[in-house]
Structure 1
Amino acid sequence: MSAPARWDGALLRGTVHGPLPALLLVMTTVTGLVDAVSVLGLGRVFVANMTGNVVFLGFAVAGAPGFALAASLAALAGFLVGALGGGAVVARRGHRRGHLLRDTAVVEVVLMLAAVALLVGVTGTPGSALASLVAGLLAVALGLQNAVVRRIAVPDLTTTVLTMTLTGIAADVRAAGRPVVTRRVLAVATMFLGAFLGALLVGHARLAWALLPAPVLLVVVPAVLQLALRRPAPWQDTAG
């Protein structure tokens, strides 16, 4: 009976983080889906994983075939703009992390729907200008998300980067408790699931419809938080 109690407290409805861990896993799934669409449909460009995008940018500058310099630059610039905006919002409202994540998710949904609208009617790979514009819009959304999730500070749930999560799974396998390992594994699994779904959709649908499930799924985050925030709770304020 003790293990389920630790599970609930660590992931689903604890007083420290409330529903935030579960919602961040939803956002992780969305990240995998969006990056799958961008890499497979916009010309090998990451919009969430800036480590990969900087590597792709290096390939493009070196003249390696199949890598889009303009789209990679647009994604990098968009991500920085989003992170800059997220930092400004965090500086003003960072103490209300429930409200902060709710409002951030709403902005992300709008940006992703705008990207979907730009891709409506496009068959195949979009032209360089359109691909760059879409990549930039999506990267703004993910840069904003990254800055805000960093402030929310739920351990092991960055929603966009898994390098340290995978390191923790292996390096801390003996020291970490079951809830910690489970949360890390779920972060990897949800990113994989999003990428898998995104790849399937890109292969069987137009790019706009492949991207559309991302904002539709992301709507879950502000919807749940809107309901949860009606009752004040400790998790709604910044931890620590």
Structure 2
Amino acid sequence: MSIKDAVQPVLRDARATVLPDPADHHGPLPPLMLALTVVTGLVDAFSYLVLGHVFVANMTGNVVFSGFAIAGAAGFSLAASLAALAAFGVGALLGGRIGHRARAHRGRVLRLALVVETVLFLAAYGVARYGAPLDTAGPRYSLIALLGVAMGVQNATARALAVPDLTTTVLTLTITGMASDSRAAGGAGGKTGRRALSVLAMFAGALIGAFAVRDGAPTLPLLLATVLLAGSTLDAFALARSDARWTEPR
């Protein structure tokens, strides 16, 4: 197989993810899931680099960080990791309730969840931008709580929408699928383009967030994430009025 023959299916899959067919099983959801994946990269860059070795979206990291903190490793806070885990759990519970309440229409699930998430991000940006210094306990734990709940809502919503390979927060299985389903591994190589876009979306968010923090604008990742969420929420209001096949629960 030539390089061209190998690359073309990947590009077609990526194109179909960014510009999906309205008649597809998931309709317009894939590009919105990619936008939310960028949000994850931005917010975890902010939380890890500004709030001090804690994630608000990647809970696997917080479980590991809790072990580091208990072992006495420098720079890790057990209280911060547990606070993030608790906030994320509350958000996932809230997201689950949203998903069950509007489960008959996936567009309405997305709309409700994004409204809640956007409000939480706006509150977090207000705390970060206009509150006390971020290295003090009050603002730090307020931000962990607000952002953790928001990302729990997002994760539960992505689970309810069930768009394959676009979980918005977890890439371990995505990367595993890229390798284990590849032609080199004896698989069909399906969805490689979509999976690669998911990885790149989170990478882009993290890269932009890290550059912003490094160059002296620590609240910029939150502002960018909030703008992305606000735009996605506007789209979701239009999608909530659709009666296309993709709105049916999966």
Shared fold by TM > 0.5? yes
Aligned to 1:204: 215
Change (3 A) 1:82 1:6: closer
Report the RMSD for the aligned CA atoms in angstroms: 2.1
Please give the per-residue CA displacement for 1:186-210, whole angstroms capped at 9, x wherever unaligned.
0000000000011011112343333
Please give the per-residue CA displacement for 1:34-82, whole angstroms capped at 9, x wherever unaligned.
0000000001100000000111121122221111222211111100000
User: CA separation in 2, counterparts of 1:147 and 1:229?
Assistant: 18
Aligned to 1:98: 107
1:194 aligns with 2:205: yes
1:39 aligns with 2:62: no
1:161 aligns with 2:170: yes
User: CA separation in 2, counterparts of 1:95 and 1:21?
Assistant: 19
User: CA separation in 2, counterparts of 1:75 and 1:197?
Assistant: 23
User: CA separation in 1, counterparts of 2:73 and 2:133?
Assistant: 21
Pick which of 2-11 and 45-54 moved more: 2-11
Structure-1-length-normalised TM-score:
0.91
Aligned to 1:234: 245
- Secondary structure at the aligned position of 2:238 is classed as helix
List gaps (5 residues or longer) in structure 1: none
Change (3 A) 1:7 1:133: closer
Residue of structure 1 aligned with 2:230, choices 215, 219, 223: 219
Aligned to 1:23: 32
**Is the Cα contact below 8 Å between 2:95 and 2:153 reproduced in 1?**
yes
User: CA separation in 2, counterparts of 1:70 and 1:127?
Assistant: 14
Residue of structure 2 aligned with 1:63, choices 40, 65, 72: 72
User: CA separation in 2, counterparts of 1:113 and 1:209?
Assistant: 12
Aligned to 2:4: none
Aligned to 2:179: 170
Please give the per-residue CA displacement for 1:91-138, whole angstroms capped at 9, x wherever unaligned.
222221111112211111110111111112468752133212211110
Pick which of 204-213 and 102-111 moved more: 204-213
Change (3 A) 1:121 1:223: closer
Structure-2-length-normalised TM-score:
0.87
Letter in 2 for 1:82: G
Pick which of 65-74 and 27-36 moved more: 65-74
1:140 aligns with 2:149: yes
User: CA separation in 1, counterparts of 2:58 and 2:241?
Assistant: 34
**Is the Cα contact below 8 Å between 1:85 and 1:144 reproduced in 2?**
yes
**Is the Cα contact below 8 Å between 2:133 and 2:139 reproduced in 1?**
no
Letter in 2 for 1:211: L
List gaps (5 residues or longer) in structure 2: 1-7
- Secondary structure at the aligned position of 1:45 is classed as coil
Aligned residues: 237
Aligned to 1:82: 91
